[in-house]
Structure 1
Amino acid sequence: MVRHDGAPRTVLVTGSAGFIGYHLCRLLIDEGFNVVGFDAMTDYYDVNLKRRRHAMLLQSARFRMVEARLEDHAALHALFDRERPDAVVHLAAQAGVRYSLENPRSYLESNLVGTFNVMECAREFRVGHLLMASTSSVYGANTKLPYAETDQTDHPLTFYAATKKANEVMAHSYAHLWDMPVTMFRFFTVYGPWGRPDMALFKFVKGIIDGTPIDVYNHGEMYRDFTYVGDLVRGIRLLIDAVPVRADDPATIPAWDTLSPAAPFRVVNIGNSDTVKLTDFIDAIERECGRKAIRRELPMQKGDVPATWADATLLRELTGYAPQTRVADGIRAFVAWYHDYFDAGERGHDPHGRQP
């Protein structure tokens, strides 16, 4: 956790007020890192939820934050210059697969221009390790399951996925040109406490509790590799220390590794390595909420895929870690948080935010 001079290491986390960013910052703080958050507090979903997350992080002297947009290169550059982070975890992005059908320009500006600014600052200030979020959506039209990092990713089905694929390619070029260590990690349907209101679990729980219909796409004939947020951020934390090193001889790269033969760059899946049918997922939520959902059966939505499933062998080889939270346990934690958050809000104080 410390530099060579004995000072705690500093990690810059973009998107620190987001769902995943909040959980990662909390874990890093608990492990003794100094954490600098960067977030634009955009109104894609309820900003109050983001501010609650940041308020809890700011209770620690190890956390400080800047509120600005990734597209503001001057603000980002000033932050890098002041903080000189040892590692950067770039999570900030315009999120949401379906929203990219409505507002693709926001993905262009945040996910491409914003990510370029992060890479430029990381290059200029010689960050020791740049880690950037990608997505299982890059596998697109690929039908081979489970998804391995070496599988085809040239046929994205949404503009969101296309911007994330572009991030991977951009990052590889920077890693090659500037000898800048980069790890891209691909997420698989992350869920858990403090989740986003636009995500399926949040919508399903709210609908079931409120007695309003929930949308079930492809009539429930969908499968997802649901990954609990606590498992995900543990994987990211361990990957911070798994710094890619340029291979002297590409022939020595192990068959299980995605290390580039031309750069200190690799791609890593972070998933639960299991699939759950959507109808079974909803059944589990109903059991936890103690009531039935009103299901509105709908066809497959444009740009969606019938199944995702992660091959997380590489994560295990690099870190010795494998996500293992059972979906039923993760749903239970979310439902407990949901009640806690909204009940506490009605009482006029913040919930503690800790997972059960």
Structure 2
Amino acid sequence: MVATGDLIAVTGGTGVVGRRLVTDLVDDGFRVRVLSRSAPDDDIEHVAVDFSDDRPLPSGALDGCAAVAHLAAHIPASQESEGAAPAAFQTNVFGLLKLLAAMEEAGVTRLIQTTSANAYAPGVSCAAEDDPMFPSARAPFYLSSKLVQDVLGAYWHRNRGIAVTTLRLSSVYGAGVETSLLTRFVRLLRDGTPIRLANGGSFAVDFVEVGDVSRAIRLFLANEETGAFNIAGGEKNSLLDVCAQLVELTGAGPEALIVERGEQAEAGFPAIDIAKAARLGFTPTPLRKGLERLVAST
């Protein structure tokens, strides 16, 4: 457990989730050190680290830190391409290994890392933490790297004296999340370009707002819970339903949504069971409220 005023290292602190977390940690009274390739915009302590190469972290990068929030990740532009595997594994797997080595050297024993709740095995209707993980249906090259990250965290916790909490995130959306489908849809609607949904818009995802991820990380910094926890909205939403709401919220006409029928519905990813995190105080933002904020900020 960390205390107000402690120094928290945040990897990937210049990314969308990282920037939000850094701001929230400072507001909560913590000191923050960002480990990333580029320096943060604000007057935040920074150590230049590239998790995509083989070099160890700079000496002293974690000195004085009470905990590490590990957000640095490689998310490929095409998650369905096998060409995405080398970069994903280099950053997400080997990057974690060099972080763990630096933590051991510095004597830092608290790690909160984020992986993916979309790595659960196909066929699960509402995935809980003890359900099997086997990302064979979609994005296997990226999601496999996140699964290995999950495994390594559990190993280091069990065998190497580092208290590891792994937060399995569902599909993150919200202000500034440019990689989210929902941000892309809002921009299309703003530009007057229709959204085209294949297969009746049946593809479904469990969405979680970016602010909820920051709140979850801070929740677990404030307790001593370890292991895996799902961080998600707790329900599965079809693209048809979400886009219909975005059309309404942006004031676009019905012609802005073109739904193409397919031969079969697409299952997408399962709903994510958040009961375990909810027992500790995690409550997700309702999707409608999150969509309203996304539209207002985009």
Output the TM-score relative to the length of structure 2: 0.88
* Alignment match of 1:131 (pick from 72, 91, 112): 112
Match of 1:86 in 2: 66
Counterpart AA for 2:32: V
State the one-letter code of the partner of 2:93: L
- Assess if the C-alpha contact under 8 Å between 2:120 and 2:127 holds in 1: yes
Q: How well do the aligned residues superpose, as a CA RMSD in angstroms?
A: 2.5
The alignment status of 1:113 with 2:94, answered yes or no, reads: yes
In the TM superposition, residue 274 of structure 1 has moved relative to its aligned partner by: 2.0
- Provide structure 1 residue ranges, at least 5 long, that are not aligned to the other structure: 42-50, 245-264, 339-356
Cα distance change, pair 295–92 in 1 and its aligned pair in 2 (3 A): farther
Q: Helix, strand or coil: the match of 1:144?
A: coil
Distance in 1 (alpha carbons) for counterparts of 2:58 and 2:262? 46
Alpha-carbon spacing, 1:233–1:298, altered in 2? closer, same or farther (3 Å):
farther
Q: Which amino acid aligns with 1:212?
A: T
Q: Is the 8 A contact 1:100 1:107 kept in 2?
A: no
The aligned counterpart of 2:57 is: 76
Give the partner amino acid of 1:32.
G
Amino acid of the residue matched to residue 295 of structure 1? I
CA contact (8 A) 1:225 1:272 kept: yes
User: What one-letter code is carried by the residue in structure 2 that aligns with 1:80?
Assistant: A
Cα pair 2:47 2:61 within 8 Å, conserved: no
Higher helix share: 1
- Tell me how far 1:294 sits from its aligned partner: 4.5
Q: Pick from 26, 34, 39 the counterpart of residue 37 of structure 1.
A: 34
Q: 1:295 to 1:94 in 2, by over 3 A?
A: farther
Compared CA separation, residues 112 and 97, structure 1 to 2 (3 A): same
Q: Secondary structure at the residue paired with 1:154?
A: coil
* Partner SS state of residue 103, structure 1: helix
Work out whether residues 52 and 87 of structure 2, in 8 Å CA contact, stay in contact via their aligned partners in 1.
no
Q: Give the AA of the match of 2:106.
A: F
The TM-score with structure 1 as length reference comes to: 0.75
Q: Equivalents in 2 of 1:8, 1:327: separation in Å?
A: 33
Structure 1 residue 160 and structure 2 residue 142: aligned? yes
Task: Quote how far apart the aligned CAs of 1:243 are.
Answer: 2.2
Q: How does 1:3-18 map to 2 (within 5 A)?
A: 8-18=5-15
Question: What SS does the corresponding residue of 1:183 show, helix, strand or coil?
Answer: strand
Which amino acid in structure 1 is aligned with residue 115 of structure 2? S
Partner of 1:270: 231
Partner of 1:279: 240
State the aligned residue count: 291
The one-character-per-residue Cα deviations of 1:225-275 (angstroms, maximum 9, x if unpaired) are 22112122111111112324xxxxxxxxxxxxxxxxxxxx51000112122
Cα shift at 1:66 = 2.9
Superposed displacement of residue 185, structure 1 = 0.6
**Contact conserved, 2:206 with 2:233, CA < 8 A, in 1?**
yes
Match of 2:203 in 1: 222
Match of 1:172 in 2: 154
What residue number does 1:27 align with?
24
Alignment of 1:233-248 (within 5 A): 233-244=214-225
SS in 1 for 2:34: strand
Determine helix, strand or coil for the equivalent of 2:115: strand
State the alpha-carbon separation in 1 of the partners of residues 262 and 90 from structure 2.
Answer: 31
2:169 paired residue number: 187
Of 295, 298, 304, which residue of structure 1 is paired with 2:258?
295
For the structure 1 residues 159 and 140, does the alpha-carbon distance in structure 2 shift closer, same or farther, using more than 3 Å as the test?
farther
Percent identical across equivalent pairs?
25
Q: Which amino acid aligns with 2:71?
A: L
The answer to whether the 8 A contact 1:186-1:270 is kept is: yes
Distance 1:100 1:275, change over 3 A: closer
Partner of 1:144 in structure 2? 124
Which residue matches 1:309?
271
Which residue identity does 1:27 align to in structure 2?
D
Q: What amino acid is aligned across from residue 273 of structure 1 in structure 2? A: G
